[in-house]
Amino acid sequence: MSQMTDNINEYFDRLESELNSCFKVASEARKRGEDPVPYPEILPARDLAERVENLMGIAGLAKRIRELEEAMSREEAALAIGLDFAEGKFGE
């Protein structure tokens, strides 16, 4: 079992390393003006909650999403986040 865990960890480490490499290539190409935007628009994310936080640019949002998803469905969590926004807990 330990060997399998080691293999899985190595696999994910390799994926992350390759992702970082690709991100660096994209960043360099954009710095040279080979793309209209000077940086990669989508940041790497470990899960959907982090992806949403990166896209929205609101610190702490991923943590709140994860908390809600432990207690309710993803759809209910989305509605609860909407309520959080309406109540001024996140963003403007």
The residue ranges of every structural domain in the chain are: 1-41, 45-92
Half-sphere exposure of 85 (CA within 13 A, CB side): 12
* Helices of type H across 1-92: 2-31, 48-56, 61-71, 74-86
**Whole-prediction pTM value?**
0.65
Residue 92 pLDDT greater than 80, yes or no: no
Model confidence pLDDT, tens digit, residues 12-58:
999 989 998 998 988 888 888 878 888 777 788 889 999 999 988 89
What is the pLDDT of the chain when averaged over all its residues? 88
